[in-house]
Amino acid sequence: MTFRRAAALLVLSLLTAGSALAQATIAGRVTLPKARPGPVMNKRYAIVSRGGVLSPYPPVAVVYLEGAFPAAPRPPLGTKQMKQQDLAFVPNLLAIEVGTRVEFPNLDDTYHNIFSYSAAKRFDLGRYRSDERPIPAEVFDVAGLVTVRCDIHEHMRALILVLATPYFVLSDTEGRYRLENLPAGHYRLKAWLDSKTTLERPVDLQAGAVLPASFP
């Protein structure tokens, strides 16, 4: 058996073991803040600030599960990307699990300098062009909200929500979400709306069942 095949079988066995414990589903809708008409720059560059509140534009929610989850083998965390394209961050909101590595590829024909002074993650990638390799990357190992900016283009902003849970999903722009492959048990379901607003409610999950759960 080759090393590659052995590695593939190991990953498959981990996924199978995890799916045996993760059988519940939560589906519902989050009432999102109204999309307020804003300056053209805010519409284009996505992050809206209202009196110190940072939120994605258009509004969406990050819905996630917190609690004492049963121990189970899990596949390694993958690498995510937040691109710089057309002088904006894509996506403008990225939800990741603690320990995830994020790359910041530059797809523009100009320099960018990506940095953050957030408490959950401080970094400065320096100036780099689209043709420079390797792609700058950072590991986000502390839970919290990270505001990402460009030192050269001050209008550019994005948010990275680092979560201490593997169970999360982004809603659509209507607030609808579906969170699948969850372990049975008693947990807290949370809906992050912006840097100042996180809603929550208790949930009891049964294996194989779909629990309706909305945030009015």
The answer on pLDDT for 2 being more than 70 is no
**pLDDT given for residue 45 in this prediction:** 53
pLDDT per residue as tens digits for the range 171-186: 999 999 999 999 999 9
Confidence (pTM): 0.85
Cβ atoms within 10 Å, residue 196: 11
Taking the C-alpha atoms of residue 81 and residue 112, their distance in angstroms, rounded to an integer, is 15
Contacts of 188 (CB under 8 A, 6+ apart): 65, 66, 67, 200, 201, 202, 203
Taking the C-alpha atoms of residue 126 and residue 33, their distance in angstroms, rounded to an integer, is 35
pLDDT per residue as tens digits for the range 103-150: 999 999 999 999 999 999 999 999 999 998 899 999 999 999 999 999
Q: Where are the alpha helices (DSSP H) in 22-133?
A: 40-45
For residue 1, name the pLDDT band (cuts at 50, 70, 90): very low
Counted domains in the chain? 1
The answer on pLDDT for 11 being more than 80 is no
For residue 57, name the pLDDT band (cuts at 50, 70, 90): confident
Its domain, for residue 38, covers 3-212
**CATH code where residue 141 lies:** 2.60.40.420
Amino acid letter, residue 75: P
pLDDT above 90 coverage of the chain, percent: 74
Phi (first) and psi of residue 105, to 5 degrees = -70, 140
CB distance 189 to 213 below 8 Å? yes
Vertex 178, ends 101 and 43: CA angle to 5°?
Answer: 65
Taking the C-alpha atoms of residue 80 and residue 82, their distance in angstroms, rounded to an integer, is 7
